[in-house]
Structure 1
């Protein structure tokens, strides 16, 4: 069976992203994709390797988009200003792309070379943001893990409606990032 003209992997991934962001990642199925694209489910298999292939492509797409948005946010900035901008861009991405963001959290994707490359590109961006602290590579990895945990935790709790008190979330994010960076500065002084 030949592929449908006009249907390609980027179209499938963008459609999956739309479904994930509006209905949730669990709503991304071959049936919902084919219905949204106006085709029969078997036609999708001419372009992509089943649902696992869709979710892998969605994860890669999400990491690329996040990397692009974070790179744009930090353009021309250095040091703590760049870290603040990157953190805010990360949260903004998760807010505006909740389903795609969820897809970026590793699972089976870790064994895929393209997923690894895009993940390493994002990791490299964040390590470069921390360059002004002159951290050894191993310590930089630990610091990046901490930052990612902080940002992921914040965005996950926000997405689940866990911040119910009437205080501005962006102010909370700013304070958390200030505290985190203050800890890194203190660590660098003490070493």
Structure 2
């Protein structure tokens, strides 16, 4: 029998909060059950297994990130859109490190909400459309942007920029300037 008030949605949100607190790799059904004051077996009426729970957290994170990026992009184009998208991405990673890690995890296309992942791709393609990049250059540019954003926020989260007196925000701004220049001067295939 399912415990009153425990739903798949509440479990997913609690798991996402737990991921932000202790790290996505440390989210387990046992840890989540402790949070709800139930035995781990009680969760199986709401989620299939740990992989299902982790996929739900990844889907939630992707949807949240897509919502945030979509709101930031509204009415913007060119460099303004690039900067708004990048800042939404970085801010989300800073505010929700566990959820961000979930969104970056390789859980398989069959388990993660394809709609949220597709929204990210579509928004990035829309930004690049403003730069006039045709395929296959657009795909290459998407990979460059994602690699740059993910690399930067991952290094920043790990403390990789603390040892230098130049602030990480200044370098972030310069990085976005450089990406804008690269996109405006994209080499022909």
TM-score normalized by the length of structure 1: 0.93
Q: Using the TM superposition, name which of 137-146 and 96-105 deviates more.
A: 137-146
Q: Are the aligned partners of 2:24 and 2:101 in contact in 1 as well (CA < 8 Å)?
A: yes
Q: Deviation at 1:77? A: 1.2
* CA positional deviation for 1:166: 2.3
CA deviations 1:37-91 (Å, max 9, x no partner) are 1211111100001110111000000000000111111112111101101101100
Partner of 2:87: 88
Kindly report structure 1 stretches of 4+ aligned residues shifted beyond 6 Å: none
Q: Give the 3-state SS of the residue equivalent to 2:108 in structure 1.
A: helix
TM-score computed with the length of structure 2 as normaliser: 0.93
Equivalence map 1:61-72=2 (5 Å): 61-72=60-71
Q: Is the 8 A contact 1:60 1:104 kept in 2?
A: yes
Unpaired segments ≥5 residues, structure 1: none
Checking the alignment, whether the CA contact within 8 Å between 2:133 and 2:186 is kept in structure 1 is no
1:160 to 145, 158, 161: 158
Gaps of 5+ in 2: none
- How far apart, CA to CA, are the structure 1 residues paired with 2:170 and 2:8? 39
Instruction: State the match for 1:56 in structure 2.
Output: 55
Could you tell me whether the CA contact under 8 Å between 2:30 and 2:40 is conserved in 1? yes
Cα RMSD (Å) of the superposition?
1.5
**Could you tell me how far apart the structure 2 residues matched to 1:7 and 1:28 are?**
17
SS of the residue corresponding to residue 3 of structure 2 reads: coil
Deviation of 1:169 (Å): 1.6
User: What is the aligned partner in structure 2 of residue 24 from structure 1?
Assistant: 23
The 8 Å contact of residues 109 and 115 in structure 1, kept in 2 or not, is answered as no
**Counterpart residue number, 2:73:** 74
In 2, Cα distance between equivalents of 1:91 and 1:149: 13
Q: What is the CA deviation profile of residues 117-170 of structure 1, one whole-angstrom value per residue up to 9, with x for unaligned ones?
A: 321111101111122112213221111111000000001101111112122222
Q: Which segment is superposed worse, 131-140 or 76-85?
A: 131-140
Q: Residue 38 of structure 2 aligns to a residue in which SS?
A: coil
Query: As a proportion of its length, which structure holds more helix?
Result: 1
Q: Distance in 2 between matches of 1:170 and 1:85?
A: 14
What is the number of residues matched between the two proteins?
188
